């Protein structure tokens, strides 16, 4: 069918037709639970790439077609030590490369880039998150990234649930620094695929069956891949803490 661009905030004027095919499986072996999830994404996109002069003025706009062929993988292993303690290992990632190609085109238009539309899932509180607060990435812009980690859920005395987590965020391939202004070879900066590590602490209070209070916090130590991707030489950590409540009507 015909694609219409009705998003005036999109600088690439992206249109296209995309398709997703996937599977979800869950296996239980006594106190262990294994979940595996996979999605294949394909289709075609049409997007504009602006050519600008040294004064950042647009002098020409190219509109090209891009073939999309990417994927997402997701796994989780959970172990119930007892009714109060549950240990979890988790990993999720997509194909492609983060950032931009050398010609300024978003890297997820090429090379196995994965595209999503408003997905709602959270891995850790800062690295990949959609729930609010400070988030580096959400599921709709995590092409070329993967995150692995572990967390433990502990039921403490009273209607409280404590969650402690530790995660590592990586890029499939190192972000390119040829187009960077701040983080580049001129300043003897190098990059890798390590984006950073994160520590989480959450506390959920089930006040009533339909009313919950939740405290979420995170501490993220930045890796050189994140600085290369964001084109900055500053910043060594990110901290977040906030408190909110849920009420079901």
Mean pLDDT within 124-153:
89
- The pair of three-digit structure tokens given for residue 3, joined into one six-digit string: 């694609």
Dist CA 171 CA 137 (whole Å): 12
Write down the pLDDT at residue 1: 41
pLDDT, position 6: 53
Pairing of strands 194-208, 237-247: unpaired
Q: Is the pLDDT of residue 66 over 80?
A: yes
Q: What is the pLDDT of residue 105?
A: 80
- Select from 33, 28, 101, 37 the least CA-distant residue to 64: 101
Q: What percent of the chain has pLDDT over 70?
A: 90
Is the model's pLDDT at 140 over the cut of 90? no
pLDDT, tens digit (0-9, with 9 covering 90-100), for 69-109: 999 999 999 999 998 999 999 999 999 988 888 777 888 88
pLDDT at residue 7 in the model: 58
pLDDT higher than 80, residue 10: no
Judge whether residue 3 has pLDDT over 60.
no
């Amino acid at each position: 069918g015909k694609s219409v661009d009705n998003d005036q905030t999109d600088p690439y004027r992206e249109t296209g037709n995309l398709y997703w095919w996937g599977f979800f499986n869950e296996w239980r072996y006594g106190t262990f639970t294994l979940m595996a999830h996979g999605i294949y994404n394909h289709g075609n996109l049409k997007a504009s790439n602006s050519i600008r002069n040294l004064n950042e003025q647009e002098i020409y706009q190219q509109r090209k077609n891009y073939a999309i062929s990417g994927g997402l993988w997701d796994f989780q292993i959970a172990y119930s030590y007892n009714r109060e303690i549950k240990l979890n290992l988790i990993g999720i990632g997509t194909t492609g490369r983060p950032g931009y190609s050398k010609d300024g085109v978003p890297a997820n238009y090429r090379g196995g880039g994965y595209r999503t539309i408003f997905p709602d899932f959270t891995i850790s509180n800062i690295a990949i998150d959609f729930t609010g607060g400070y988030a580096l990435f959400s599921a709709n812009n995590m092409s070329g990234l993967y995150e692995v980690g572990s967390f433990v859920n502990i039921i403490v005395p009273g209607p409280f649930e404590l969650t402690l987590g530790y995660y590592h965020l990586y890029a499939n391939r190192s972000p390119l620094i040829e187009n960077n202004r701040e983080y580049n070879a001129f300043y003897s900066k190098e990059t890798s695929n390590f984006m950073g590590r994160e520590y989480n602490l959450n506390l959920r209070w089930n006040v009533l069956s339909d009313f919950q209070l939740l405290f979420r916090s995170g501490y993220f130590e930045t890796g050189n891949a994140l600085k290369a991707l964001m084109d900055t030489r500053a910043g060594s950590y990110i901290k977040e803490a906030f408190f909110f409540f849920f009420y079901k009507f």
